[in-house]
Chains A and B, each alone.
Chain A
C-alpha cells in the first residue's frame, strides 16, 4: 500500500521528493510537496496543499534553524539570544505543527544542523552564545517536545549527515538552487524516513532469529566445546561477538523477540548459553529456539508459527551464505540481510537494518520476552492435559474491560496499528486520532487487559462501538495474537453485546473488512456468529452473546 508523505521545507526539497518516490524499500511512498520556502503558511491557514493530503498522511517538515528561530538569525549577526528565547521559538514552531494533528498520522522533524560554512569560533561555537550551542539548545527542546507528543517524531539528521562522510552539503547546490543538502544526504535520509514510516505504522520487525556458531559466538561449539568459544576475552573476534550480543539484548529490552535457529546438538548449545561466563544473552532472553539438524528454513517457519507472528515480522541472521540463501528462497517474506564476514561489523550491520524502529515503548514492549516465556509454559501445560476444556478451565482467565483513557492510550494505539490478524477492519489511527474518535457522537472505545495463572499479558484487546441509525456497530475489534484461542475473543464479543443492550441498541452490526492478513478474525466471526457462506463479511448480534464459562470478566 502506498503511503502519502507531505514534504514541507524552507529550502528546495524537490530532489528528496524524487528519491522518496522512486525508492523501492517498503513502504512505497507518494509525495505531496508544499511549495518550498513556505512553512508557516502551510500550517497557519487553509493552504491548498491540504486538498492533496489524506488524513492518514505523514508530514516531513525539514527546516534550517534560521528559518524557524528569528533569534538564531540574530545570533549569526553577532547578537546571541538567551537559551529560553530559543526554546520559546522552538515551542512556537512545534505548537504550529501540532495544530495540524487531526489531519496527520505523524509529523517527522529532522534535527537541526549547520553547514560547514557556519563554523565561526570552532570550540567557541559550543560555548553559550555560539551557533552550535544554539542548535543544541533548539534540538534539546525539540526532543523534549517530541517525547511529550504521540504525533511528533524526531529524525536523527545529524547521524544521517555524518554517514555521508563529508558530502552532506554542496555550496553550489545551495547558491544555484537553494538546495540545502546534497544528494548523498538526501539518499541517506530516505532510509530514515522509510524506517520512521514503518515505525509510525507499527511495522517494525518483531523477531530476530539468530544462528549460534560464528554468529552469536566465534567457533563451532560442537567442535571446540563451550569453554573454547571465541566470546569476550582479550580477542577482537570474541569482543565483537559480545558487542553483537549486547546489541541483540538491547533489542530484546525494547520488546523485540529473540530466537535461535542452529545446527547443533540442543543440549550442547544450551549448555554453552547457560555456562559460558561471557555470554550476554542467556536462555531466558530467547522466546523460542530450534536447535537440531533440520532445515533452517523449516526452523524459522516453526519459530514464527510458535510465536504466533507473521513471516514478514521476522529477521534471520546467519553468518553462512548458503543458509541465508536457503531461508531467503524458502521464506521470501522473512528479512534475510547480507551479513559481514568480519564479526567486528556485526553490531553495526544490525543497527544498519533500521528494521526495529518504534515510536515509543509500552510496558508490554519492555516485558514481551517474559510474556512469551509465560506462553511457552502455557503450551507445556497444555501438552500435559488432554482436554482443551480442562486446559482452559485451569488457566484462570481474567479479562478486565476499561474505557479508553490517557493511561491506556499509547498502548491502545500501538495495538490498533500493529495488529493484523485479529483485526476486524484494520483501521489505523494515531494516538491523537484514537483519543478524539469517541468524543464525537455516541461512540466508545474499550480496552481489555488479560491475565491468567501464568502471568499478566497486559492490554491485549480493543473494541470500538458506534451508534448507527437502527442500532450500533462494531467499528474496531482488535486482539493481540498472543491471547488468541483462549476465549478472549468471545469475551470481547460478549462485552460488546452487553454494551449494545445498555445503549438501547436492538441490533449490533458487524462488518468485516478483509485484508491479506485478517482471515483469522473473519473466520472467528463466521464461527461465532454463523454464516451461510465462507465469504460472508456481515453479521449481527441481537441480544447477549454468551461469555465463555472459563473467563472472569471484570468491567
Chain B
C-alpha cells in the first residue's frame, strides 16, 4: 500500500473524530502527533482500540482502495507498537509496504 502523508493524516484524523463522537467530554482523544492513544498512559481501552482499528481500516480502504489488517497481535506486542500515539500511528501507516 502506498499512501501519502496527507491521506494518512486525514484518515487518522477522521477515525479519531469518529471515536470522539462516542466519548465523553473529558475522554476526547487528541489528534496532534504527540497525543497518546493506546498502551502506557494512553486513553484507549481494548474496545476503543478495536473501534479505532476498524475506522482506520475502512478509511484507508476508501481512500486507497486497499484492504489492510491492523488487528495483528504481533503488531500490538511489538516494542515500537504503532498505536502508542497519533504520531507513531501516522508514521507506521505511511510506511506500510
Contact = CB atoms under 8 A, between A and B. Distances in A.
A176 B50 contact: yes
B22 A22 contact: yes
Contacts of A504: none
A183 B56 CA distance: 13
B47 A177 contact: yes
B89 interface: no
B71 interface: yes
Interface residues of A, number: 17
A18 B51 CA distance: 12
A21 B54 CA distance: 21
A173 interface: yes
Contacts of A179: 50-51
Nearest to B51: A15
B21 A18 contact: yes
A172 B57 contact: yes
Contacts, number: 39
B22 A170 contact: no
Contact of A176 (B24, B54, B55): B54
B18 interface: yes
Interface in A138-187: 170, 172-173, 176-177, 179, 182-183, 187
Nearest to A182: B54
A172 B61 CA distance: 14
Nearest to A14: B47
Contacts of A22: 21-24
Contacts of A176: 50, 53-54, 71
B47 A12 contact: yes
A173 B18 contact: no
**Interface range on chain B: under 10, 10 to 19, 20 to 34, or 35 or more?**
10 to 19
Contact of A172 (B23, B47, B71): B71
Contacts of A182: 54
A170 B18 CA distance: 15
B58 interface: yes
Interface string B12-46: 00000010011110000000000000000000000
B88 to A, nearest CB: 21
Contacts of B54: 170, 172-173, 176, 182
Nearest to A187: B21
Interface in A164-212: 170, 172-173, 176-177, 179, 182-183, 187
A262 to B, nearest CB: 40
B50 to A, nearest CB: 4
A151 B54 CA distance: 37
B23 A18 contact: yes
Interface of A: 12, 14-15, 17-19, 21-22, 170, 172-173, 176-177, 179, 182-183, 187
20 contacts: A18-B21, A18-B22, A19-B22, A21-B24, A22-B21, A22-B22, A170-B58, A172-B57, A173-B50, A173-B54, A176-B50, A176-B53, A176-B71, A177-B50, A177-B51, A179-B51, A182-B54, A183-B18, A183-B55, A187-B21
- The 3 A-B pairs of least Cβ separation, nearest first, read A18-B22, A177-B50, A176-B50
